[in-house]
Amino acid sequence: MSTTSARTSYDLERIRGDFPLLSSTMRGNPLVYLDNGATALKPDPVIDAEVAYLRDISANIHRGVYELSERATVLFDQARDKVKRFIGAPSDGEAVFTKSATEATNMVAFGWGRKALGPGDEILTTELEHHANLIPWQELARQTGAQLRFVELGEGGVVTAEAVAAALTARTRIVAITGMSNVTGFMPPVTEISRLAHDRGAVVLVDGAQLVSHHPVNVAELDVDFLAFSGHKMCGPTGVGVLYGRRALLDAMDPLLYGGDMIVRVYRDHADYRGAPERFETGTPNISGVIALGAAVDYLEEIGMEAIARHEEQLLEYALGRLDGVEGITLYGPRGVRRGGIVSFNLGQVHTHDVGSVLDNEGIAVRTGFHCAQPFMRHLGIHGTVRASFYLYNTRDDVDRLVEALGRVREVFG
């Protein structure tokens, strides 16, 4: 098996051994999983942590005085500490468990935005965004009379600090921007953007759904006010996500849901609420998912996010080199800028779903279509792309299999 670097001690073979699905076959071929942008495969330690809770603990948190409930509470709280450490949350920052990155952006749009925005205020975003970081802002603008504005994109969908500076105004209340495009892997200069936004008195929300799983993230260094991400894209389970927020902002924010576990005292006609994060986590949370997310953090940290990012960078370079040589291919996304391990392309006039079907016949899983990013597709003047997205366990052999299979697409569709 090829590794992407002889210089690092990145043990690709061992890593691959941790993921049971990587030894499976699909349509009679060894699986090549290149849909990590949609969700990541899960390693044994994550699966084991979730199963161990379900089998050996099963109790609810924060409610019982008996041992099983205490064990569940300890593991749940430990998972929050791990997540906070993973993203470098400063002491005045909090990590709220949500069901997804989508829920996290909605919580900010409606919990914070409805109170903070009024007619004439501006929400600044980009056409690069996943719908999860666009539609909540469209809806917020509709409900508050605020205006949704867009940063002008550069060649290949680049967002520059200069373009953000040009779009910011004295009425900008929030800049909602992706940390990494799910279509091209492009990573906007978030630290500079935060500085520019803060200078104008705007807050910054970064959609970290792709960024957090693939790159070291430190919210204090990025100086962001909110960060939304999902557990399932970082080797954790589905149904659990995170909203990081500065405490002062979270304290000023309304929850989306109301009920048990978020309260201090309840009277007939009103209740006193707890502070963040509990105020935003009413009802029984996804306890097994949160605990397994904690295990995913441990797993990624043991390998090292720097090492994972380097591995993917090298793999991307290799993939771009190989794909550049495929006849009839159009590759999207900027070159020579910071990019995560995602490649989007079209092959001649062949429909993306047809490409995906041929690849599937070869055991290769990719995503096809508009990737929940229709405005960006429109910007590119296309209906969709074929997307191969890499993660810590992908190899050069995977890229070679992809390139080979694209040859089959050409044979089938001419």
d(CA 292, CA 46): 5
Q: Which of 12, 101, 141, 168 binds ligand C6P (CB under 6 A)?
A: 101
DSSP structure class, residue 35: B
Which residue, 73 or 385, is less far from ligand C6P as judged by CB?
385
Q: Site for ligand C6P (CB under 6 A): how many residues?
A: 17
Cα 259-260-265 angle, rounded to 5 deg = 100
Which residue, 73 or 125, is less far from ligand C6P as judged by CB?
125
Cβ atoms of 196 and 168 within 8 Å: the answer is yes
Phi, psi of 316 (to 5 degrees): -60, -45
133 counts as binding ligand C6P under rule CB under 6 A: yes
CA dihedral 54, 57, 59, 64 (to 10 degrees): -170
Tell me which stretch binds ligand C6P (CB under 6 A): 62-70, 126-134, 345-353, 354-362.
126-134
98 counts as binding ligand C6P under rule CB under 6 A: no
Residues with Cβ within 8 Å of residue 51, at least 6 apart in sequence: none
Which residue, 102 or 394, is less far from ligand C6P as judged by CB?
102
178 counts as binding ligand C6P under rule CB under 6 A: yes
Which residues 182-221 are close enough to bind ligand C6P by CB under 6 A? 182, 207, 209-210
User: Would you give the binding string for ligand C6P spanning residues 28-67, x where CB under 6 A is met?
Assistant: ---------xx-----------------------------
Tokens of 226: 């909110």
Of 72, 339, 38, nearest in space to 188 by CA: 339
Which residues 222-241 are close enough to bind ligand C6P by CB under 6 A? 230
Q: Specify the DSSP element, H or E, that contains 44.
A: helix 44-56
Q: How far is the CB of 253 from ligand C6P (least distance, A)?
A: 19
Q: Which of 80, 279, 371, 401 binds ligand C6P (CB under 6 A)?
A: 371
Q: How far is the CB of 236 from ligand C6P (least distance, A)?
A: 11
372 is catalytic: yes
Tell me which stretch binds ligand C6P (CB under 6 A): 99-107, 137-145, 187-195, 283-291.
99-107
CA dihedral 270, 274, 276, 282 (to 10 degrees): -70
Out of 180, 235, 315, 372, the active site residue is: 372
Alpha carbon of residue 101 to chain centroid: 7
d(CA 270, CA 176): 34
Tokens of 286: 């996804």
Which residue, 113 or 171, is less far from ligand C6P as judged by CB?
113
102 counts as binding ligand C6P under rule CB under 6 A: yes
Which residue, 73 or 230, is less far from ligand C6P as judged by CB?
230
d(CA 391, CA 239): 20
Which residue, 38 or 331, is less far from ligand C6P as judged by CB?
38
Q: How far is the CB of 228 from ligand C6P (least distance, A)?
A: 7
d(CA 369, CA 360): 15
293 counts as binding ligand C6P under rule CB under 6 A: no
Q: Which of 18, 46, 49, 100 binds ligand C6P (CB under 6 A)?
A: 100
What is the identity of the amino acid at 208?
Answer: G
Tell me which stretch binds ligand C6P (CB under 6 A): 65-73, 128-136, 296-304, 333-341.
128-136
Of 115, 339, 335, 90, nearest in space to 214 by CA: 339
Cβ atoms of 242 and 86 within 8 Å: the answer is no
Give contact residues for ligand C6P (rule: CB under 6 A). 37-38, 100-102, 130, 132-133, 178, 182, 207, 209-210, 230, 367, 371-372
Residues annotated as catalytic (active site), given as ranges: 372
